[in-house]
Structure 1
Amino acid sequence: MRKPTLRTGVRWKISIAIAGVGALVAMTLSLVVHNAARVSMLDNARDVQMDRVLLAQRWYEQSKNKDPRFNTKINDPAVPKDLQKLVRQGRRGSYVHEPAEGPAEIWAAVPLSNGDVLSLHSQFAGRSATIIQALDRALIIGSVSVVFGGCALGVLIGGSLSRRLRKAAAAAGNVAQGNTDVRVRDAIGGVVRDETDELARAVDALTDALNARIEAERRVTADIAHELRTPVTGLLTAAELLPPGRPAELVRDRAQAMRTLVEDVLEVARLDSASERAELQEIALGEFVARRVAVLAPDAVVCVVHESYVNTDPRRLERILGNLLANAAKHGKQPVEVTVEGRVVRVRDHGPGFPEELLAEGPSRFRTGASDRAGQGHGLGLTIAEGQARVLGARLTFRNANAAPEGAAAQDGAGGAVAVLWLPEHAPTNTGSFAVLPPADGDGGGGDGDGDRRQRHRHRRP
């Protein structure tokens, strides 16, 4: 079971990191400044309170009526115990009491000559509290500004990095699709040099190394096939001179198979070199397919749903059809159906369908499919068909038709392999560049089920 994942961009990760650090720093500084300011104001209030009580002490001891002034009290029972203990020792002092609710209380007390205690009590309020509140507001506003500023800076920095990474990913994707002329370093651009440029250089170096290795393998394959062509042709010619009989038939059959393999390998090497160019010609696709299928697979059923004129290479298109029909005949079951609808050509059989490896990864040379197909062919037919489709600027897709539900009786026409050839709206240019292709999801076209909207022409070949 896959664990749930949260996907976020680099931009937001950097923004959140900067905002988090900014918020932590702002909160820490705000607390330090708040506490320092409050302690300083409380110390100042205690000094003022002590000056007042000393002034009241002098007034009290010099007056005759012994009447306390300046809101002072004699032997006030509310004086905190710690302060009372200090004064009883003949010392003067001040004390700050901070209740759970309400403002702090400032006490100051001094001993009198007759042994009494003169004390003064007031609350830490008024202008000092207003200053603290104003300071707190300023700190909150500053902290919020720092957080938002950090977010904006993170979005700016992360956005630039994210754009460069996305450009690098897009360029690497183009390379993976076969456009080896793309360079990631040129795609990301920019003046600043950072780790993204190192990644781009590494990807470009990897691309160059892979291209060199692929080109070397292609040349070796082409050279081997080319060198084998002459002796295989001589072997086939010599086999024709053998006296009639079963051994001669076996030799000629194996020699012909070897010759076919050599020709296919040479064709694959030419297609891999990306030097092939289509010789374009305007044709009626439905009529062309019907005529070619009648020769290549007389038992196949051709259905022209909608005729269309296309600009393509007839020779390469016939090669694609031949390989698809041969694959259906080898690995599928009858009937084989060929449907033409506009610029879309489908070839379907009613066999076990394509193996999962082919559906997931596409055709691979010398891979013949599942174990039940072992020994049949060399696995180059679909590879050549896909390569010829690229030369035409077309796309070749593969899927399996929906089979009957498990436990249910098999229905007519259920199951089978479906190969779909999408011909482009615009033919490839002389330089070999491809036209824009239709979306890859589904097989497009609506073949069956549209009989009430399009005229159908079905030709069954004997």
Structure 2
Amino acid sequence: MRGNSRRRVPSFMDRAGIRTGLRWKLSAAIALVGTLVAIALSLVVHNAARVSMLDNARDLADERVQIAQRNYELSGRPNFPSIKIDDPSLPPALRQKVLEGRRATYVTDRPHGIPDIWAAVPLKDGHVMSLHTGFTDRSTDILKDLDQALVIGSIAAVLGGSALGVLIGGQLSRRLRKAAVAANQVAKGETDVRVRDAIGGVVRDETDDLARAVDAMTDALQQRLEAERRVTADIAHELRTPVTGLLTAAELLPPGRPTELVLDRAKAMRTLVEDVLEVARLDGASERAELQDIMLGDFVSRRVIAKDPDAVVHVVHESAVTTDPRRLERVLFNLLANAARHGKPPIEVSVEGRVIRVRDHGPGFPEELLAEGPSRFRTGSKDRAGHGHGLGLTIAAGQARVLGARLTFRNVRPAGAPDHIPAEGAVAVLWLPEHAPTSTGSYPILP
């Protein structure tokens, strides 16, 4: 990890544990944008309609005051009740325009926002003729109806956009979920899975690019892993002959402490080479189980006693299973060896139906192993230190996969104890399948 890497600050939704789907995020974004656009358009339309109505009202008032002016000049008196001469309530700004000899209109607002329309014209005798009208009720009703229509239309547009966002986001989210499921299958070792085939569909978008990129990465990674597996197997195979020769030569040495040390290291090297070869074969996914019918409780009891007489075996429930005895014995012996090497006695083995549990009373498994599973050449943490090359649990997990079984690991802690309390032991659990794998490695589908 680079020293200058930045750690992402968790958001409120991350801290609250709230997870929102893509469809809801897209719908919320469309709803927000739609709301803002609807509000802006409603304001523009409302103001445009109001200005247009005011302009029409001012034009009408101007025409009426001109007609009144002509009638006044002919008859000497105004013909309309709303026409006034030298009205004292005339707005000062409008009066100033008229005194300059110009005909003008003016708009003022009442306290409740209803506009008043003024129109004034200068007379030949120096007086000012003016007309004062209010915004008609009909115009006010039209504006209210327009506002109501704008609100209803905006709400409909926002809801429709949100529904469209949910539909589009749901389709995209569904494709991404399928891609995630396929990618997880690839991560679990199912290299024949293709993300592009999993998402399907005829839509060509960024998810197709992502799927093709993941498939290409999977192929490249698989090729690299296969190349590494072949190199490891070839190296281990080439080492087998000289190591065997070294062991044979060491057995010809005269008895003594040096000879015992050489023999011990030579045997350890031979065990390491054999384990590496076994891991390479298991990684190749070409191993097949040779099935036999056995009574699981009796089988485990006899094998455990032969391997470790001090171990305690409990057969809670006997069960007849179809499995590969050699591979099952390999898994069992590796779990026992790991418990004896890294744990503390007593070692307890229990058989309950198709489930085998191996427990020790040591410091427990390392947290890395519990989180990630067995890893090659990892002998344990400082709390579970020991000797060995760290392939025992890796081989046990690989043989369990060939058997179609599941191997899990956990630590034993007092009930309700926090994580910082030391473990009281480690438990490895082997779950044998109900239906054994076929000779092709697949599983029969039974009615």
Tell me, yes or no, whether TM beats 0.5: yes
Structure 2 counterpart SS, 1:334: coil
1:57 and 2:63 are equivalent in the alignment: no
8 A contact 1:393–1:435 mirrored in 2 = no
Q: Distance in 1 between matches of 2:383 and 2:27?
A: 56
Residue type of the partner of 2:329? Answer: E
The aligned counterpart of 1:301 is: 312
Q: Distance in 1 between matches of 2:404 and 2:222?
A: 22
Correspondent of 2:405 among 385, 394, 403: 394
Moved more, 324-333 or 189-198: 189-198
1:286 and 2:309 are equivalent in the alignment: no
The aligned counterpart of 1:26 is: 38
Q: Distance in 2 between matches of 1:242 and 1:106?
A: 124
The aligned counterpart of 1:13 is: 25
Correspondent of 1:364 among 358, 375, 389: 375
The aligned counterpart of 2:238 is: 227
The aligned counterpart of 1:449 is: none
CA deviation profile, 1:359-384 (whole Å, cap 9, x unmatched): 12211111111246666111111111
1:431 and 2:440 are equivalent in the alignment: yes
Moved more, 261-270 or 28-37: 28-37
C-alpha deviation, 1:22, in angstroms: 2.6
The aligned counterpart of 1:210 is: 221
Q: Distance in 1 between matches of 2:101 and 2:332?
A: 115
The aligned counterpart of 2:249 is: 238
The aligned counterpart of 2:122 is: 111
* Cα distance change, pair 178–23 in 1 and its aligned pair in 2 (3 A): same
Residue type of the partner of 2:393? Answer: L
Q: Distance in 2 between matches of 1:102 and 1:10?
A: 45
CA deviation profile, 1:371-410 (whole Å, cap 9, x unmatched): 466661111111110101111111111111115999xxx9
C-alpha deviation, 1:333, in angstroms: 1.0
CA deviation profile, 1:250-293 (whole Å, cap 9, x unmatched): 23222222221111111111111111111122222212111111
C-alpha deviation, 1:192, in angstroms: 2.2
Correspondent of 1:143 among 154, 158, 161: 154
Correspondent of 1:38 among 22, 25, 50: 50
**1:250-261 matched pairs, under 5 angstroms:** 250-261=261-272
Q: Distance in 2 between matches of 1:154 and 1:236?
A: 72
Q: Distance in 2 between matches of 1:123 and 1:15?
A: 46
Residue type of the partner of 1:299? Answer: D
The aligned counterpart of 1:443 is: none
Q: Distance in 2 between matches of 1:3 and 1:140?
A: 35
TM-score, structure 1 length as denominator? 0.87
Correspondent of 2:428 among 419, 436, 444: 419
CA deviation profile, 1:317-346 (whole Å, cap 9, x unmatched): 111110111111111111100111122111
C-alpha deviation, 1:3, in angstroms: 4.9
Structure 2 counterpart SS, 1:91: coil
Structure 1 counterpart SS, 2:358: strand
8 A contact 1:52–1:70 mirrored in 2 = no
The aligned counterpart of 2:210 is: 199
CA deviation profile, 1:133-177 (whole Å, cap 9, x unmatched): 222222222222222222122222222221111111111110100
* Cα distance change, pair 398–166 in 1 and its aligned pair in 2 (3 A): same
Q: Distance in 2 between matches of 1:323 and 1:349?
A: 13
1:134 and 2:145 are equivalent in the alignment: yes
Residue type of the partner of 1:56? Answer: A
* Cα distance change, pair 58–283 in 1 and its aligned pair in 2 (3 A): same
Correspondent of 1:72 among 69, 83, 92: 83
Aligned length: 431
The aligned counterpart of 2:190 is: 179
8 A contact 1:225–1:263 mirrored in 2 = yes
Structure 1 counterpart SS, 2:175: helix
C-alpha deviation, 1:124, in angstroms: 0.6
8 A contact 2:317–2:353 mirrored in 1 = yes
Q: CA RMSD in A?
A: 2.4
Q: Distance in 2 between matches of 1:242 and 1:205?
A: 55
C-alpha deviation, 1:181, in angstroms: 0.7
TM-score, structure 2 length as denominator? 0.90
8 A contact 1:103–1:125 mirrored in 2 = no
Structure 1 counterpart SS, 2:345: coil
The aligned counterpart of 1:451 is: none
8 A contact 2:291–2:323 mirrored in 1 = yes
**1:308-457 matched pairs, under 5 angstroms:** 308-371=319-382, 376-402=387-413, 415-433=424-442
Query: Gapped runs of 5+ residues in structure 2?
Result: 1-8
Q: Distance in 2 between matches of 1:109 and 1:95?
A: 9
The aligned counterpart of 1:445 is: none
More relative contact order in 1 or in 2 (CA 8 Å, sep 6+)?
A: 1
The aligned counterpart of 2:163 is: 152
8 A contact 2:293–2:322 mirrored in 1 = yes
Structure 1 counterpart SS, 2:204: coil
C-alpha deviation, 1:68, in angstroms: 4.6
* Cα distance change, pair 102–261 in 1 and its aligned pair in 2 (3 A): closer
Moved more, 293-302 or 107-116: 107-116
8 A contact 1:404–1:415 mirrored in 2 = no
Q: Distance in 2 between matches of 1:381 and 1:368?
A: 9
Q: Distance in 1 between matches of 2:48 and 2:362?
A: 84
8 A contact 2:94–2:104 mirrored in 1 = yes
Residue type of the partner of 2:174? Answer: R
Q: Distance in 2 between matches of 1:191 and 1:373?
A: 54
Query: Gapped runs of 5+ residues in structure 1?
Result: 437-462
C-alpha deviation, 1:84, in angstroms: 1.6
8 A contact 1:424–1:435 mirrored in 2 = no
8 A contact 1:425–1:435 mirrored in 2 = no
8 A contact 1:60–1:69 mirrored in 2 = no
* Cα distance change, pair 369–107 in 1 and its aligned pair in 2 (3 A): same
C-alpha deviation, 1:355, in angstroms: 1.5
Moved more, 119-128 or 173-182: 119-128
Residue type of the partner of 1:59? Answer: N
Q: Distance in 2 between matches of 1:94 and 1:16?
A: 48
